[in-house]
Amino acid sequence: MAALAGFLAGREAARVMVPRGRGTILFTGASASLRGKPGFAAFSGAKHALRALAQSMARELGPSGIHVAHVVIDGGIDTEFMREAMPDRYKLKDRDGILNPEAIAENYWNLHCQQRSAWTHELDLRPWIEPW
């Protein structure tokens, strides 16, 4: 689903953006985009495929003025789900130990606003205490 959904959404966005000669397509990955773990073969495979899709689309669409980037989200995000399902981990919020959604959004916006002379293709976002 991750790779197919990314392909379909990216293809449809590109169909609108290419005639305009500008646009930004951002894909969201995870640390699984970069490495596998026991028990996560399907997720890692899907995220690896999405990352490869983003790389291919960046090379194909860049000359048409379309900025394609892949964002690796490596850590828990401050959401109601995390607060309820992982209360011990959620306590790290007080130490900036989980990702703030507004900070994530600001990074996505910054990717969109980049000058094309220095486009970023991949950005890793993680809280400062996340081991990597």
> For 46-85, what is each residue's pLDDT tens digit?
999 999 999 999 999 999 999 999 999 999 999 999 999 9
Distance CA 89, CA 97 (A): 8
**How far is CA 118 from its chain centroid?**
18
Where along the chain do its domains lie? 2-13+22-125
Span 107-119, pLDDT tens digits: 999 999 999 999 9
Q: Between the CA of residue 111 and those of 71, 97, 122, what are the distances in Å?
A: 10, 23, 10
Supply the pLDDT for residue 2: 81
Amino acid letter for position 21: G
Nearest to residue 132, comparing CAs of 19, 35, 27?
35
Helices 2-20 and 41-61, packing angle to 10 deg: 10
pTM of the model: 0.91
**How far is CA 102 from its chain centroid?**
15
CATH of the domain spanning 2-13+22-125, picked from 3.40.50.300, 3.40.50.2000, 3.40.50.720, 3.40.50.170: 3.40.50.720
Tokens 């309820």, residue located:
84
